[in-house]
Structure 1
Amino acid sequence: MSASQSDRALHRLHDVELAALAAAGGRREFGELVRRHGSAVRALLRRMGADAASADDLAQDAFMQAFEAIAEFRGEGTFAGWVKRIAARLYLKRRQKEARFVLDGQDHEPDQPIGFADAAGRIDLDGALKLLSPAERLCVSLCYGAGLSHAEVAETLNTPLGTVKSHVRRGLDKLRERLAPDGGQAGSRAHG
């Protein structure tokens, strides 16, 4: 079988099949998993607050850890969710190590205004996420970006479940307000 035929065959396999083959030593199969999910892992890390270079480094580290532990992946959830959880934990460890990890719910003010929609009206979710407090951004990203449940986020962050739920609720409320078609102006007029 030629390399291109082999690549086409890999494209047809499900993630669980690729993971099983990778666990048996298949580097090409694991490479296909990286190709499929690398962008999503980097995007999650960016939404959590990592800059582009850090997101690339952390994604690479996450896939290296996933490769080393691939035999532990049982296919009970998605491979993408599994590797995103690894990446999220690596990000949290790095933040803690850098002593910049904050989960106290303090308001975060951006250094400069961020536009929420471009001229074509597309939503700038990443810009809107930057306006959330670090705790809100982290909890929303883990729940909706990595697909973790509130309980899993609480366990990962070693934070009470109620606190995680509060951060997610406040974060989603802020995102809804900021991403509203009128830029949140109607809500501020109604409440102000």
Structure 2
Amino acid sequence: MAGARSPASLHDVELAALAASGDRPAFGELVRRHGSTVRGLLRRMGAEPSLADDLAQDAFLVAFERIAEFRGEGAFSAWVRKIAARLYVRRWRRDARFDLDMEIADEGHGDEGSAADRIDLDEALKALSPAERVCVSLCYGAGVSHAEAAEALNVPLGTVKSHVKRGLDKLRARLAPGVGAQGGAEGSRGHG
């Protein structure tokens, strides 16, 4: 029996189908379910909280306009995160004061600051360069491929791969157990 089930009891695919047929409360439920995830991704990418809120709202507006394109082949949250990430990248590219290609040439040595023993992912991401943070967040937070990230950023694929590799190496080093407490030898030979 189809009955009048509440939007909260429906699966995302069902809600998207209802939203595509004009059911605004169904789309509202999707926003309630996934809004904080989208805002969190945008913050991890480097957006200030107010910008993350604005871009998340814009992403859901785009998603609402394109809801008929969502076929349920993947998670709705992944679909809307990709939309949000692309909006952030457009904004970031427009506001950027540096060129990703130039940044690779300028990097000679990594960040070596003394980090606290306990550091969370958000803090670790803040330690990355803006280019590394965007590339890592796009490829691992928003789930876009390296090629899609390169296209979105309008840079060569190798540039994206370099930023992702360097960013992941820095994250691993920052998040490794015991890193930062001893200060001293942080060389590439020993661990601990």
TM-score (norm 1): 0.82
Partner of 2:56: 59
Match of 2:31 among 25, 28, 34: 34
**1:76 pairs with 2:73:** yes
Matches within 5 A, 1:82-121: 82-100=79-97, 102-104=99-101, 105=104, 106-107=106-107, 121=118
Partner of 2:147: 151
Match of 1:126 among 122, 127, 130: 122
**1:165 pairs with 2:161:** yes
**1:15 pairs with 2:26:** no
Consecutive unaligned residues of structure 1, counting only runs of 5 or more, are: none
Give the Cα separation in 2 of the matches to 1:101 and 1:82. 29
Give the Cα separation in 2 of the matches to 1:150 and 1:186. 35
TM-score (norm 2): 0.82
- Greater RCO, 1 or 2 (C-alpha within 8 Å, sep 6+): 2
Residue 109 of structure 1 and its aligned partner are, at CA, apart by: 8.9
Query: How many matched pairs?
Result: 181
Residue 155 of structure 1 and its aligned partner are, at CA, apart by: 2.2
- CA RMSD in angstroms, aligned pairs only: 2.7
Q: Deviation digits for residues 150-188 of structure 1, max 9, x if unmatched?
A: 222222222222222221111111000011112255871
Q: Deviation digits for residues 7-34 of structure 1, max 9, x if unmatched?
A: x732232211111110100111101110
Does the aligned pair in 1 maintain the 2:115–2:174 contact within 8 Å? no
Partner of 2:178: 182
Does the aligned pair in 1 maintain the 2:15–2:27 contact within 8 Å? yes
Give the Cα separation in 1 of the matches to 2:98 and 2:14. 37
Residue identity over aligned pairs, in percent, reads: 67
